[in-house]
Amino acid sequence: MTTTIPHQSAPRDEPGGPLLQASGVVMRFGGLTAVRDVDLTVNSGEIVGLIGPNGAGKTTFFNCLTGLYVPTEGTVSYRGTVLPPKPHLVTKAGIARTFQNIRLFANMTVLENVLVGRHTRTKEGLISAIIRGPGYHRAEATSRARAMELLEFTGLAGKADHLARNLPYGEQRKLEIARALASEPGLLLLDEPTAGMNPQETRATEELVFAVRDQGVAVLVIEHDMRFIFNLCDRVAVLVQGEKLVEGSSEVVQQDERVIAAYLGEPFDAGGEQAQPEPSAEPLPEPQPEASPEASPEPEPEPEPSPEPSPEPEQGQDEQQENDK
Ligand SMILES: Nc1ncnc2c1ncn2[C@@H]1O[C@H](COP(=O)(O)OP(=O)(O)O)[C@@H](O)[C@H]1O
Ligand SMILES: [Mg+2]
CA distance 232 to 225: 11
13 part of a folded domain: no
Residue nearest to atom 25 of ligand 1 (CA): 55
Report the chain (325 residues): mean pLDDT per 10 consecutive residues: 47 72 97 97 97 96 97 96 94 95 93 90 64 74 92 96 95 96 97 93 95 97 95 96 96 91 80 58 39 38 43 36 38
**Percent of residues in the chain assigned helix, strand, coil, to nearest 5:** 35, 20, 45
- Burial profile 304-321: b = 16 or more Cβ within 10 angstroms, e = fewer: eeebeeeeeeebeeeebb
CA 106: distance to chain centroid?
A: 19
For a substitution probing ligand 1, which of 28, 60, 220 has the most ligand atoms within 8 Å of its CB? 60
Using alpha carbons, list the distances in angstroms from residue 241 to 54, 141, 220, 225, 245.
9, 48, 19, 19, 9
152 part of a folded domain: yes
Question: Minimal CA–CA distance to 155: which of 173, 174, 183?
Answer: 174
CA distance 297 to 215: 33
How many whole angstroms from 158 Cα to the centroid of ligand 2? 31
How many whole angstroms from 32 Cα to the centroid of ligand 1? 9
Q: Which domain holds residue 235?
A: 18-323
Question: Minimal CA–CA distance to 208: which of 227, 228, 184?
Answer: 228
How many whole angstroms from 66 Cα to the centroid of ligand 2? 14
10 part of a folded domain: no
52 φ/ψ sector (left φ>0, alpha ψ -120 to 50, else beta): left
Residue nearest to atom 18 of ligand 1 (CA): 59
Instruction: Name residues whose C-beta falls within 8 Å of residue 49's C-beta, 6 or more positions apart in sequence.
Output: 220, 221, 222, 223, 229, 230, 232, 233, 235, 236, 237, 250
DSSP per position, 102-114: ----TTSBHHHHH
- Note the pLDDT tens digit of each residue in 271-296: 665 556 755 444 334 333 333 333 33
306 part of a folded domain: yes
The CATH number of the domain where 123 resides is what?
A: 3.40.50.300
Ligand 1: residues within 6 Å at CB?
29, 32, 34, 52, 54-60, 304-305, 307
Q: Which ligand is nearest to the CA of 100?
A: 2
* Burial group, residue 224, by CB count within 10 angstroms (0-12, 13-18, 19+): buried
Instruction: Name residues whose C-beta falls within 8 Å of residue 208's C-beta, 6 or more positions apart in sequence.
Output: 1, 154, 155, 174, 177
- For residues 264 and 224, the answer to whether their CB atoms sit within 8 Å is no
CA 280: distance to chain centroid?
A: 18
How many whole angstroms from 8 Cα to the centroid of ligand 2? 29
Residue nearest to atom 7 of ligand 1 (CA): 304
- Per DSSP, 261 falls in state I
Q: Which ligand is nearest to the CA of 304?
A: 1
Q: Which residue type is seen at 122? A: T
How many whole angstroms from 35 Cα to the centroid of ligand 2? 12
Q: What is the pLDDT of residue 192?
A: 96
Q: Which ligand is nearest to the CA of 239?
A: 1
- Note the pLDDT tens digit of each residue in 129-183: 666 777 777 878 888 999 999 999 999 999 999 999 999 999 999 999 999 999 9
Q: What is the pLDDT of residue 196?
A: 85
187 part of a folded domain: yes
3 part of a folded domain: no
How many whole angstroms from 57 Cα to the centroid of ligand 1? 6
CA distance 233 to 206: 10
Pick the atom of ligand 1 nearest to 60's CA: 17
Domain count, the chain: 1
Between strands 218-222 and 187-191, the pairing is: parallel
Q: Which ligand is nearest to the CA of 55?
A: 1
Between strands 243-248 and 235-240, the pairing is: antiparallel
How many whole angstroms from 279 Cα to the centroid of ligand 2? 10
Q: What is the pLDDT of residue 53?
A: 95
Residue nearest to atom 24 of ligand 1 (CA): 55
Residue nearest to atom 26 of ligand 1 (CA): 55
12 part of a folded domain: no
31 part of a folded domain: yes
- For residues 116 and 324, the answer to whether their CB atoms sit within 8 Å is yes
